[in-house]
């Protein structure tokens, strides 16, 4: 079964600090790279992490604040300079369209790859993309500007063949894909062996939710019920709750409550305010509600399945 | 006499590499910071170099290619987040106006500092700014798009008082600024001491020219005659001359010829193509023509006067 990995490229908030970069993550699903948000410096981060930026097929931007999209112009230009030919798909709230149009009109003349920009209605939870490997649902968030979270789900995979059974029944290689797809096996003497006997159940598909920037959204847990991991913004500690409400952000404790209510496998918190030089306060407050919480950090790689 | 320093923040070309960042420099003149070009990641570079970005008063952009301006959105946003109140002045070829308008329309609502954007005619050499500390002249360059180099000149300073002479003639403190400004001193007995006797000549003003991106421009040497230092792009080595002509860039040897013909004090070359993992070939070729050549590098600080 192929891996499903999250690479954190940046988990700071709007004000850059010496220890955090603006928002960006790479999700690796069955060999494809998905970019979530694109803060300034993403292409350098990709290079430093030895992630091949040419393998990025889809970009999902949460909202039109600079710390989530100012790396886009540089990345799109670099794709062009590197001679990219494969199509690129960008999804974002419709409010990002003018910025996108400006980049393309003024800086991307002569590009040789096709780019589709899909403007999203950030008020609607909707299935926005599906391919053989994964599907993506947009999640309405509650920020100062239109903002979408994203639920990324692997497509169900086929069951595993049990090699010992295949050998025992002397089943030829050509029959295996049929059996994995659900066909029973009829042997030379006419006896039928049910495919369930020849296979083990498929691994459950990995599911990952990326939710930033937002006030706590009480609808969110139902939408992401049982995800393997939730990344949720936790810009502030409890003591700064009034500030959080004012600027449309969550506290670490609120992020943890969302993870608990969603029965998430684990929680990764990020989008830390620059006011915390030590984020352990955020971790402690979140873990009081949801113990399986970790702090995000630049360079972090989390494998939901190795 | 105050210092005049150049800090190289980035000296790569369009394609980012692991060893170079896109174009940007800080020029420090009498305590003021001037930013020349603003490639992606400038604000992080400033932070890492402990340069106080709030002291930047003027930004001069050479042209509307991403590797010279994609750091601008993030920097302007950060000024706003940090509560900047002091005015900011940006100068660039008029072709950068739509990008600038887009940033301000979509990302800079609620900013509390005044920004003036002065669109330049890149075909005209003209005096574009002057204050008590320095003056700036735009220099038409020859690139694929409208492009300006910049000549930054300190204003002439006052002569130095000779302390021993002041003591010998028992000249009071209040008279010193007049003497520096050119007044003679009349002592109690009516004798006149010429101000030239009481002072040493002022240090000559520092002059620095920043010229990127460009084909070699034969008019340039006369415009920058006798500069203390020239930064000139040297994207390619001699062997890649045909490529240089095609894309509107210079070779290291051509940059050196400009410095020689301008009687520059020294030459700094940069904007290196990503194809050279070792730029010593560029240095060798330039030094054959103009020995006082150095390679630019990220983190470099050059003091024209300490």
- Reported as a single tens digit per residue, the pLDDT across A99-155 is 999 998 888 877 889 999 999 999 999 999 999 999 999 999 999 999 999 999 999
Minimum Cα–Cα distance from B82: chain A residue: A15
Closest Cβ opposite residue B70 in set A48, A67, A73: A73
Chain B within 8 Å of A97 (Cβ-Cβ)?
Answer: no
Chain A within 8 Å of B57 (Cβ-Cβ)?
Answer: no
Cross-chain Cβ contact A43/B40 below 8 Å: yes
Mean pLDDT of chain A: 94
Q: What radius of gyration, in Å, describes the C-alpha atoms of chain A? A: 22
Does the CA dihedral A237-A242-A243-A244 come out positive or negative? positive
Give the closest residue to B59 by CA, choosing from B8, B99, B25, B109. Answer: B25
Task: Tell me which H or E stretch contains A45.
Answer: helix A42-48
Q: A18: distance to nearest CA of chain B, Å?
A: 7
- Using one digit for the tens of pLDDT, what is the confidence trace for B190-238? 889 999 999 999 989 999 999 999 999 999 999 999 999 999 999 999 9
Cross-chain Cβ contact A78/B48 below 8 Å: no
Report the b/e string of B250-272 with b at 16+ CB within 10 A: bbbbbbbbbbbbbebbbbbbbbb
Task: Tell me which H or E stretch contains A126.
Answer: strand A126-130
- Using one digit for the tens of pLDDT, what is the confidence trace for B282-305? 999 999 999 999 999 999 999 998
Minimum Cα–Cα distance from B15: chain A residue: A78
Minimum Cα–Cα distance from A39: chain B residue: B74
Q: What is the pLDDT of residue A123?
A: 96
Query: Tokens at residue B237, please?
Result: 């080595």
Cβ atoms within 10 Å of B109's Cβ, excluding its own: 9
Partners of B73 on chain A (C-beta within 8 Å) are 40, 66, 70, 73
Is pLDDT above 90 for B94?
yes
Q: A14: distance to nearest CA of chain B, Å?
A: 8
Query: Tokens at residue A68, please?
Result: 């989530």
Give the closest residue to A149 by CA, choosing from A90, A214, A193. Answer: A214
Per-residue pLDDT band at A284 (split at 50, 70, 90): very high
- State the residue for tokens 């070939």: B281
Are the CB atoms for B152 and B207 separated by under 8 Å? yes
Q: A299: left (phi > 0), else alpha (psi -120 to 50), else beta?
A: left
Query: Tokens at residue A248, please?
Result: 């449309």
Spans of all domains in chain A: 4-157+203-305, 160-200
Residues 6+ positions from A256 with CB-CB distance below 8 Å: A234, A267, A269, A285, A286, A287, A288, A289, A290, A293
Report the b/e string of B201-214 with b at 16+ CB within 10 A: eeeebbbbbbbbbb
Query: Tokens at residue B109, please?
Result: 């609502």
Q: What is the pLDDT of residue A1?
A: 57
With pLDDT > 70 as the criterion, what percentage of chain A qualifies? 100
Query: Tokens at residue B8, please?
Result: 């190289």
Mean pLDDT of chain B: 94
Question: Which CATH topology does B4-157+203-305 take?
Answer: Metallo-beta-lactamase; Chain A (3.60.15)
Task: Assess whether A261 carries a catalytic annotation.
Answer: no
Residue A233, preceding peptide bond in cis (omega within 30° of 0): no
Q: Across-strand partners of A269?
A: A232, A295
Chain A within 8 Å of B105 (Cβ-Cβ)?
Answer: yes
With pLDDT > 90 as the criterion, what percentage of chain A qualifies? 86
Is pLDDT above 70 for B64?
yes
Query: Tokens at residue B208, please?
Result: 């620095």
Are the CB atoms for B42 and B58 separated by under 8 Å? no
Q: What is the pLDDT of residue B114?
A: 93
Query: Tokens at residue A22, please?
Result: 């603006």
Are the CB atoms for A261 and A227 separated by under 8 Å? no
Task: Tell me which H or E stretch contains A253.
Answer: helix A252-261
Partners of B94 on chain A (C-beta within 8 Å) are none
Q: What is the pLDDT of residue B1?
A: 57
Give the closest residue to B45 by CA, choosing from B68, B25, B16, B66. Answer: B25
Per-residue pLDDT band at A16 (split at 50, 70, 90): confident
Residues 6+ positions from A44 with CB-CB distance below 8 Å: B16, B21, B40, B41
Binding-face residues of B in 7-46 toward A, CB within 8 A: 14-18, 21-22, 40-41, 43-44
Helix (H, G, I), strand (E, B) or coil at A86: coil
Chain A within 8 Å of B246 (Cβ-Cβ)?
Answer: no
- The strand pair at B24-29 and B4-10 is best described as antiparallel
Are the CB atoms for B140 and B125 separated by under 8 Å? yes
Q: Residue A27 burial (CB < 10 Å; 0-12/13-18/19+)?
A: buried
Farthest CA pair distance, chain B: 76
Cross-chain Cβ contact B16/A78 below 8 Å: yes
Which residue among B37, B67, B213, B228 is the active-site one? B67
Cross-chain Cβ contact A47/B16 below 8 Å: yes
- Using one digit for the tens of pLDDT, what is the confidence trace for B35-50? 999 999 999 999 999 9
Query: Tokens at residue A286, please?
Result: 């979140």
Are the CB atoms for A53 and A28 separated by under 8 Å? no
């Amino acid at each position: 079964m192929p891996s499903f990995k999250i690479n954190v490229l940046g988990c700071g908030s709007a004000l850059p600090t010496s220890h955090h970069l603006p928002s960006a993550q790479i999700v690796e699903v069955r060999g494809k790279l998905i970019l979530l948000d694109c803060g300034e410096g993403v292409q350098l981060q990709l290079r430093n992490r030895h992630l091949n930026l040419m393998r990025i097929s889809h970009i999902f931007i949460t909202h039109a604040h600079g710390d989530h999209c100012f790396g886009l112009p540089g990345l799109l230009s670099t794709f062009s300079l590197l001679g990219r030919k494969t199509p690129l798909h960008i999804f974002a709230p419709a409010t990002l369209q003018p910025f996108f149009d400006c980049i393309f009109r003024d800086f991307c003349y002569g590009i040789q790859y096709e780019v589709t920009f899909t403007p999203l209605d950030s008020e609607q939870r909707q299935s926005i993309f599906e391919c053989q490997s994964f599907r993506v649902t947009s999640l309405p968030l509650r920020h100062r500007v239109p903002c979408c979270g994203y639920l990324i789900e692997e497509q169900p995979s086929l069951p595993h063949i049990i090699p010992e059974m295949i050998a025992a029944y002397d089943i030829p290689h050509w029959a295996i894909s049929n059996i994995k797809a659900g066909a029973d096996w009829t042997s030379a003497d006419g006896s039928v062996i049910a495919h369930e006997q020849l296979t083990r159940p498929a691994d459950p598909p990995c599911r990952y939710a990326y939710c930033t920037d937002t006030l706590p959204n009480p609808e969110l847990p139902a939408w992401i019920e049982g995800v393997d991991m939730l990344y949720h913004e936790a810009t502030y500690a409890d003591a700064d709750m009034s500030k959080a409400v004012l600027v449309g952000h969550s506290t670490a404790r609120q992020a943890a409550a969302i993870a608990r209510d969603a029965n998430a496998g684990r929680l990764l918190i990020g989008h830390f305010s620059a006011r915390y030089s030590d984020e352990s306060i955020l971790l402690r407050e979140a873990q009081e509600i949801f113990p399986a919480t970790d702090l995000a950090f630049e360079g972090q790689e989390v494998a939901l399945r190795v």
